[in-house]
């Protein structure tokens, strides 16, 4: 897959999750750019092993919420994509 294909796929994932990402950013008092990065990273990680893809947005939201809550508690650093 080319970089352009990857970028388009990433944009589609983020577009479909925009409302949830905005809600996560608001609820966890986290910059939306950080939430997008963490969301995309977790989505890709979970998608690689997912058997039922329709649950990915829900599972990803829950996972990202947990990561952000732990980061705010000082237990972990927020992972960022490169």
Please tell me the predicted confidence (pLDDT) of residue 4.
Answer: 77
Residue by residue, DSSP assigns 12-70 as HHHHHTHHHHHHHHHHHT--HHHHHHHHHHHHHHHHHH-S-GGGHHHHHHHHHHHHHHH
Place of tokens 């947990």: 66
CA 25, distance to chain mean position in Å, is 11
pLDDT confidence band for 53 (50 / 70 / 90): very high
For residue range 1-32, list pLDDT tens digits in order: 577 788 999 999 999 999 999 999 999 999 99
pLDDT score of 82 more than 50? no
pLDDT confidence band for 52 (50 / 70 / 90): very high
> What's the Rg (C-alpha) of the chain?
13
- pTM of the predicted model, to two decimals? 0.85
Domain ranges of the chain: 3-72
């Amino acid at each position: 897959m080319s970089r352009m294909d990857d970028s388009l796929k990433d944009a589609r994932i983020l577009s479909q999750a925009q409302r949830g990402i905005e809600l996560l950013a608001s609820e966890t008092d986290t910059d939306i750019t950080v939430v997008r990065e963490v969301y995309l990273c977790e989505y890709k990680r979970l998608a690689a092993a997912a058997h039922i893809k329709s649950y990915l947005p829900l599972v990803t939201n829950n996972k990202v919420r947990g990561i952000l809550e732990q980061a705010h508690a000082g237990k972990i650093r927020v992972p960022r994509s490169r």
